[in-house]
Amino acid sequence: MAGSVNKVVLVGNLGKDPDVRTSQSGAKIVSFSLATSDTWNDRASGEKRERTEWHRVVIFNERLADVAERFLRKGRKVYLEGSLQTRKWTDQGGQERYTTEVVIAAYRGELVLLDNKDAGDAPRQQQSRGQNNQQSGGWDSPQGNPDLDDDIPF
């Protein structure tokens, strides 16, 4: 089908440092969880309510994956453009599951660092993956970091 648009624009904060992996074809893939927060007035109670939304972001765009790996860290604020993609997978019980991700495809999308006062000053220290990577502290994820939990969609 021609004639369609699938675009997501997010401004939010990373829940933790990005995860970097390499595809079978050797391409770098960077992913992370991004928190946004919606605020609204509850119709019934009239109270101000807030809801944190976690988005799974996956970057295939080579240039932007590089930028993400070098400059994004837990707590950083970022503007990004990607598209929605729902992926099917099978859980440990053999059940089919679906996860919706915001994908920045090759040669597409956008990634803009928004609090880059010291972006160049503190590049990621090389670390062995698998270690906890919490040196950037400082920012508390609104309601725990879903990446560390079980039973979550990503």
Judged by beta carbon distances under 5 to 8 A according to partner kind, the member of a second copy, DNA, none in contact with residue 10 is a second copy
* Backbone region of residue 147 per phi and psi (left: phi > 0; alpha: psi in -120 to 50; beta: other values): alpha
- In angstroms, the CA 57 to CA 127 distance is 22
Residue 15: strand, helix, or coil: coil
Judged by beta carbon distances under 5 to 8 A according to partner kind, the member of DNA, a second copy, none in contact with residue 99 is a second copy
The single residue listed with the structure tokens 């970097």 is 20
Structure tokens belonging to residue 128: 């062995």
Report the relative pairing of strands 48-59 and 77-90 from DSSP bridges: unpaired
User: What is the per-residue binding string for a second copy in 105-134, x denoting contact by CB under 8 A?
Assistant: xxx--x-xxxxx--x---------------
User: What is the per-residue binding string for a second copy in 32-51, x denoting contact by CB under 8 A?
Assistant: ---xxxxxx--xx-----x-
The single residue listed with the structure tokens 């391409």 is 27
Residues 9-38 within binding reach of DNA (CB under 7 A): 12-16, 33, 35, 37
Q: Say whether residue 96 binds a second copy (CB under 8 A).
A: yes
Residues binding DNA (CB under 7 A): 1-3, 12-16, 33, 35, 37, 52, 54, 74-75, 77, 116-117, 119-120, 138-139, 152
